[in-house]
Structure 1
Amino acid sequence: MHFRILRQHHYCVSSSVFNKFKGKDGKFEEILSRDAKGLLSLLEASQVRIHSEDILEEGLVFATHHLNFLAPTLEGPFKEQVNRALEQAHPGLSRIEACKYISFYGNDSSHNKEILELAILDLNYAQNLYRKELHDLSWWWNNIDLKSKLPYARDRVVEIYFWGLGVSFEPQNSLARLALAKFTLIIIVLDDTYDNYATIEEAETFTEVLQRWDINEIDRLPNYMKIFYKFIWNTYEELACEASKEGRSFVMPYIRETVKELSRAYNQELKWFMEMEMPTLEAYNSNAIITGTVFLCFAATLLGIKSASEQVFEWLKSRPKIANVCSMIGRLLDDKGSHEHEDRGWELLTAVTMYMKQHGATKQETLNKFSEMVEDLWKD
């Protein structure tokens, strides 16, 4: 438990502390297999392992195997806690896990009343804050009324806000959550415009206008694109004001350039598709690092993180490996999911399509290969 808590709070403690649970044969002591609470703690500790920590990989297998065997014999809230841990390959969202654990802890006869009361007060405070943020975001979204003005665009405001909670749940990071939600809504409408609605000529014009970033250029656009362009412009200006109040105006130029870059990448994908041009897998992947949207999402979140200095954004501009890998993983999973659930009559332009054509692979062989690629990227 000490190891897990320190790791979760970003202290680089060594996993060698688990060697004391091993016997002379180098394997975990069999006597541990009867200690359900200890096994649960080992399972949870293994979830914060990093690449090449073999001892925690072994601990994960050991704890999972024996907890699956013991689970039917357990009783009460502890049984529920074990079953939940076994169902999850990775730790869940912090606030959801806290909510679940409060019920487990409260039903444990040995619980500390003061700690339980503090945990409940903290959870209630956070929930009230999240409700207010979601109310404000929903009011903002409904007031813009893109749902009726641009009916082709997806309406996913609650889902997007909830997703943002997984990125940054701390109460002090309210601006980070709201900025991420608003720019994610821009991403979704941008994606739907290029993917599902705009002609290639309209998309080309929109991309050109967006690169100029001049509201006076708006008359070059068709009416529905004027609505979208105003939405992007007004949202950016609104968040620029918030950034200025926080003394963080240095963030906005990077966000502006990232929005422009994303529009160029979406426009390139549209050209490939409409002109029936099959790019190389390398060209597609280079573009996909941008359409994975990680750079814009990172920047939007960091807008509201006060500790993220100007140097952090310079680092982000350098295209660090971790950001590239995150973007590629997201895009590969998205492409893989699109093909696994494909029900359209036309062929999607995705990395899956190109791998199949370039390697003569079947769809299932390609999907299996993509699963391996995602796993390798995680390890990398």
Structure 2
Amino acid sequence: MAEENNTPIETIILIDTIERLGLGYHFEYEIEKQLEQIYKFHHLHSPEYDLYTTALQFRLLRQHRHNVSSDVFNKFKDNNNDDKFDYKFASNAKELLSLYQAAHLRVHGEKILEEALVFTTHHLNLMLPQLVSPLRDEVKQALEQSVHTGISRIEAQKYISLYEANHDAKSEMILKLAKLDFNFIQNLYKKELILLMRWWNNCGLKSNVSYSRDRILEGYLWGVTCRFEPQYSYVRIAYAKSVELLTKINDTYDNYATIEEAKLFTDILERWDINEIDNLPTECMRIIYKCTLNLYEDYEREAIEQEKIFAVPFAIEAMKQLCRAYFRKMKWFMERQLPTFDEYISNSWITSCIYVFYTFIVPGMKFVTKENIDWLMSDEPNRLIVGASNVTRYLNDLTSYEREKKNGIMLTGIECYMKHYGVSKQEAMKKFVELADEGWKDLNTEWINSNNNNNYSIPKDYFEGVLNYARSGEVFYRKSDFYSDPEGLAQQIIDLFVDPIII
């Protein structure tokens, strides 16, 4: 991939370019090999690394699960100014931007990276009006969405445009390869969407469950976020189907069923028997129930074919567990029983749907074992699952709060927190932003440790899929509730699935 006489700095710039253009999956082995060599033999404390290259290499190494210390940034502090970052860097947008992107891979207790995020965000916002494109566009996009927390395929599409506009740095060969690759994968996505739409039209959910949201495209975007690479077609389609089905089930509990009907639906689903279908009180519930069992019959056939039959009981239990949690939340609301904040959050780890999603995609994950599913479904939620769920849950609660209050829904995470801790709405909302950021620190910690801890035997693609769940939550919920009101993501969906890049 890299020329033999490339310096370490030239190599990391090339790796970053290839990955940000969306081409990294083609060179995964070569990239890992190069970064392993750099990690072992080239020290970031060396004077040859300026702030830009130090931050870039730090970010790349952490993205590839190398536990490099954040004290490499100590050399950029001003020891005469309370150990803050030296203000000589405050006017260099390229260096600030590199440090800003690196700071999003911080873990708990890294005060220097907390300071780096505040420092870079402040100064990049100040200088933004004076910058000239394409650097201005890159800074603006980064302030809206960091590379680490964004959806990789959306980030690649945006970076291709930035890279093309950067006449001084671009390689025409790499640029053309990136465009061809993007269009090739987009064509694959279009074919998958045709299959998905066919299922959607035939299963009865689209035409017969009128009270619920239709989110088939948005659900497919969640699937693309989980695994965008060509070989994970099953994963994307299965993910999208489960998102659409769970949206219908969730809306049934929230907007349609009485508490008696919801209890009956939960109990019948618990028994998992198609012969019970006529005992359901409404046609909509019968359609949802039939679709659920049919979908899991298809899942079982695929699991047998892929030698993943061990996952079937876990997948079914995850669905039952989710409906119990939906009913528990509904019961709290209908009976005006505001739970403690801890009770609410424990239940929300389940209603985040993460257990359903990541059992349902198992037939498409080649190296997942029964032990991995045991890890996922353990009685004590592991830190990775909690971190990913918390990012999505806290951001969702933040952006949906006003809408739910307007609709008369009293049971929200914000309400629970306000009552539990006796704080104002503003204080609760500020805390939820902090808690979502804490979730990212948990995720970053687990991601780095997964490469250095013998107790971890989770396949990298499956592990990263859970990390990508938080990225979906970040994009869908950080600024607004784009899942309930998807207009805010319409352009990204068009760019990703409809319009090819002109070569």
Mapped pair 1:85 → 2:142? yes
Mapped pair 1:289 → 2:346? no
Report how many residues are paired: 380
Deviation at 1:324, TM superposition (A): 2.9
Report matched runs for 1:336-347 at 5 Å: 336-342=398-404, 344=406, 346-347=408-409
Mapped pair 1:166 → 2:263? no
Report matched runs for 1:1-380 at 5 Å: 1-22=56-77, 24-25=79-80, 26-88=83-145, 91=148, 92-110=150-168, 111-222=170-281, 223-318=283-378, 319-342=381-404, 344=406, 346-357=408-419, 361-379=423-441
1:112 aligned partner, one-letter code = S
Q: Calculate percent identity across the aligned residue pairs.
A: 47
1:88 aligned partner, one-letter code = Q
Aligned twin of 2:490: none
Deviation at 1:24, TM superposition (A): 4.9
1:172 aligned partner, one-letter code = Q
Instruction: Single out whichever of 303-312 and 69-78 deviates more from structure 2.
Output: 69-78
Deviation at 1:259, TM superposition (A): 0.3
CA contact (8 A) 1:18 1:55 kept: yes
Flag the 1:248–1:6 CA change in 2: closer, same or farther, 3 A: same
The separation in 2 between residues aligned to 1:202 and 1:324, in whole angstroms, is 31
Flag the 1:175–1:85 CA change in 2: closer, same or farther, 3 A: same
The separation in 2 between residues aligned to 1:200 and 1:69, in whole angstroms, is 53
Q: Which runs of 5+ in 2 are unaligned?
A: 1-55, 443-503
Deviation at 1:248, TM superposition (A): 1.8
The separation in 2 between residues aligned to 1:280 and 1:32, in whole angstroms, is 46
1:274 aligned partner, one-letter code = M
The TM-score, its normalising length taken from structure 1, stands at: 0.89
Deviation at 1:357, TM superposition (A): 4.7
CA contact (8 A) 1:147 1:153 kept: no
Flag the 1:46–1:340 CA change in 2: closer, same or farther, 3 A: same
Flag the 1:18–1:301 CA change in 2: closer, same or farther, 3 A: farther
SS in 1 for 2:366: coil
Flag the 1:22–1:347 CA change in 2: closer, same or farther, 3 A: closer
Q: Which runs of 5+ in 1 are unaligned?
A: none
The separation in 2 between residues aligned to 1:277 and 1:66, in whole angstroms, is 46
The separation in 1 between residues aligned to 2:257 and 2:321, in whole angstroms, is 18
The separation in 2 between residues aligned to 1:90 and 1:286, in whole angstroms, is 30
CA contact (8 A) 2:224 2:236 kept: yes
Deviation at 1:216, TM superposition (A): 1.9
- Structure of higher RCO (CA pairs closer than 8 Å, 6+ residues apart): 2
CA contact (8 A) 2:302 2:363 kept: no
CA contact (8 A) 2:222 2:239 kept: no
SS in 2 for 1:13: coil
CA deviation map 1:298-330 (0-9, x unaligned): 323444222322211111121213313433443
CA deviation map 1:55-94 (0-9, x unaligned): 3333333333443444334323222222222333564221
The separation in 1 between residues aligned to 2:339 and 2:71, in whole angstroms, is 48
CA contact (8 A) 1:71 1:82 kept: yes
CA contact (8 A) 1:99 1:123 kept: yes
Deviation at 1:115, TM superposition (A): 1.2
The separation in 2 between residues aligned to 1:61 and 1:20, in whole angstroms, is 18
2:58 aligned partner, one-letter code = F
The TM-score, its normalising length taken from structure 2, stands at: 0.68
The separation in 2 between residues aligned to 1:356 and 1:23, in whole angstroms, is 40
Aligned twin of 2:52: none
Instruction: Single out whichever of 15-24 and 5-14 deviates more from structure 2.
Output: 15-24
CA deviation map 1:199-231 (0-9, x unaligned): 222222221221111222222223332211110
CA contact (8 A) 1:179 1:303 kept: no
Q: CA RMSD in A?
A: 2.7
